[in-house]
Amino acid sequence: MSYKIFTWLALLIAVVTFATWVTTAYRDFETNREEALHGRLILEAQHAQAEAASLQLASAQKQLNDLREAVERASHLPNTVQQSSDLSKFRVQLGTLQSDTADLKTQISDLRKSSDKLYGLFSGDADRALSVPLLRKDFEGFKTTTEHDIDSVKSDIAKTYDINKWLIGLIAAGLLTTVINNLLQGRRERPTSNVRFE
């Protein structure tokens, strides 16, 4: 009888373990899918920022070219004090625009590098890149669940062993009580041999 109970208990533990593993795997899959979608949104936002920075760079380059042309035209004109001050203002603006353009180029380059890295992560190899951590996480979860189930089964076996000791002790005490009771009743019912019939 205890074998059937143990078999049913083991089957129940196996079903609960499998159901826990399936729900954990599905929850992890959903979490990773949401993270991948979030990463793609970040990638698209960075691409949009890179495009905006490219437009700003194009605008700054156009202004720089316009200032160069103005400086070149001013350098061909006769030298006057007014033109000289305008030319120095243009040169200052030209220097500022050149440094701004260099900064924008650096920022665009950094944005492109980071967006390319993100794109590499979330492109066609995303399933392969996410599958190894998912499997590792599933394995760790399964291992933990299995260890917990083994500990639970061990404690149940120990409880069953203790209950069996008590039951065997009670049965032995019942048998001993029955034997002692029968012995005492047998002595009471025995006729005494001192009685004489005449």
* Distance separating alpha carbons of residues 55 and 57, to the nearest angstrom: 5
CB 83 within 8 A of CB 77: yes
Is the per-residue pLDDT at 80 higher than 80? no
Is the per-residue pLDDT at 114 higher than 70? yes
The pLDDT score that the predictor gives to residue 191 is 58
For 177-186, the pLDDT digits (tens) are: 988 888 888 7
The pLDDT score that the predictor gives to residue 196 is 57
CB 67 within 8 A of CB 94: yes
- CATH code, residues 2-189: 1.10.287
**Which one-letter amino acid corresponds to residue 175?**
L
For 152-190, the pLDDT digits (tens) are: 888 888 888 888 888 888 888 888 898 888 888 877 776
Q: Give mean pLDDT, residues 72-91.
A: 64
- pTM over 0.85? The answer is no
* Distance separating alpha carbons of residues 23 and 43, to the nearest angstrom: 30
Is the per-residue pLDDT at 83 higher than 70? no
In 3D, which of 161, 132, 181 has the Cα closest to residue 28?
132
* More confident of the two residues 122 and 90: 90
The pLDDT score that the predictor gives to residue 121 is 62
* More confident of the two residues 68 and 150: 150
pLDDT band at residue 131 using 50, 70 and 90 as cut-offs: low
CB 64 within 8 A of CB 98: yes
Residues 6+ apart with CB under 8 A from 129: 121
For 13-44, the pLDDT digits (tens) are: 888 888 888 888 788 777 777 777 777 777 77
Strand positions, DSSP E, the chain: none
Q: Give mean pLDDT, residues 121-150.
A: 73
The pLDDT score that the predictor gives to residue 183 is 85
pLDDT band at residue 8 using 50, 70 and 90 as cut-offs: confident
Q: Where are the domains of the chain?
A: 2-189
The pLDDT score that the predictor gives to residue 81 is 47
